[in-house]
Chain A
């Protein structure tokens, strides 16, 4: 019940295209869903996050879509750029309990120039 599944494992997109990464969770008690971006040799950095009371959140070129009934959420990167090439992790947790983060296995995104 604590697992977060993430797909695809790797993704190659042309510059200007849309990158889509999907995650699914099992524990219906989760109520905070962040996405982290990690560049090689660096620590992950929070990109965008959503709570289940909304179905979509947009910040610039990054959008999270959330489907509570299906227990799925996805990250959409519009107008993908080579600088977006990184590994993206979805995660799920209970509010105010940082130690209960469950991370997906990650998606390595490559945006071709």
Chain B
């Protein structure tokens, strides 16, 4: 089955801790994205990558970091600098020249 796999489904972060959210896709898509979803708000773009070893900041990149060492993988690290990390995090991918984004099932991050 082709698709986007996010793990874990639920994640808890302690104060001062960095946590990493996994996103893997087997759709052979070049572009990958990370969004944050808060209740009553639309999806907000954190980071995106159009090609391996290259990524750009989105609208709310502060307190987050990413890497793109492989085409299939785009992990997101929520650093201790992100003071309000509680949210639902969504990873997506697309063909570079296409508007159609395919989403994973999300990771819900909470603070202990």
Residues of A within 8 A of B (CB): 4, 6, 9, 32, 34, 36, 41-46, 49, 89, 91, 93, 95-99, 101-106
Please state if B42 and A106 are interface contacts (CB–CB under 8 Å): yes
CB contacts (< 8 Å) of A49 on chain B: these are 99-100
Query: Does B31 sit at the interface, judged by CB under 8 A?
Result: yes
Q: Please determine whether B106 and A99 come into contact, CB atoms closer than 8 angstroms.
A: no
Closest approach, in angstroms, between the C-beta of A18 and any C-beta of chain B?
24
B33 within 8 A of partner (CB): yes
Are A99 and B58 closer than 8 Å at their CB atoms?
yes
- Closest Cβ–Cβ distance, residue A55 to chain B (whole Å): 19
Contact A98 B99 (CB under 8 A): yes
User: How near does chain A come to B105, taking the closest CB pair, in angstroms?
Assistant: 5
Given the known A-B contacts A96-B97, A105-B42, are A43 and B104 also in contact in the complex, defined by CB atoms under 8 Å? Answer: yes
List residues of B (96-112) whose CB comes within 8 Å of A's CBs: 96-106, 108
Given known contacts A9-B40, A89-B42, A105-B42, A41 and B98 CB-to-CB distance under 8 angstroms = no
Tell me the minimal C-beta distance from B25 to chain A in angstroms: 12
Chain B residues near A104 (CB-CB < 8 A): 42
Assuming A99-B48, A99-B56, is B103 touching A45 (CB within 8 A)?
yes
Determine if B51 is an interface residue (Cβ-Cβ < 8 Å).
Answer: no
A43 closest partner in B (C-beta): B103
Give the Cβ gap from A7 to chain B, nearest Cβ, in Å: 13
Q: Given A96-B97, A98-B94, do A4 and B103 touch, yes or no (CB 8 Å)? A: no
Name the distance in Å between A50's Cβ and chain B's nearest Cβ: 11
What residues of chain A lie closer than 8 Å to B11, measured between beta carbons?
Answer: none
Establish whether residues A98 and B33, one from each chain, have CB atoms under 8 Å apart when the complex forms.
yes
- Tell me, in angstroms, the Cα distance from A89 to B35 when the chains sit together: 14
18 pairs of residues in contact across A and B, judged by CB atoms under 8 Å: A32-B99, A34-B99, A34-B100, A43-B90, A43-B103, A44-B103, A46-B100, A46-B102, A89-B43, A91-B42, A96-B98, A98-B94, A99-B33, A99-B45, A99-B58, A101-B43, A101-B101, A106-B42
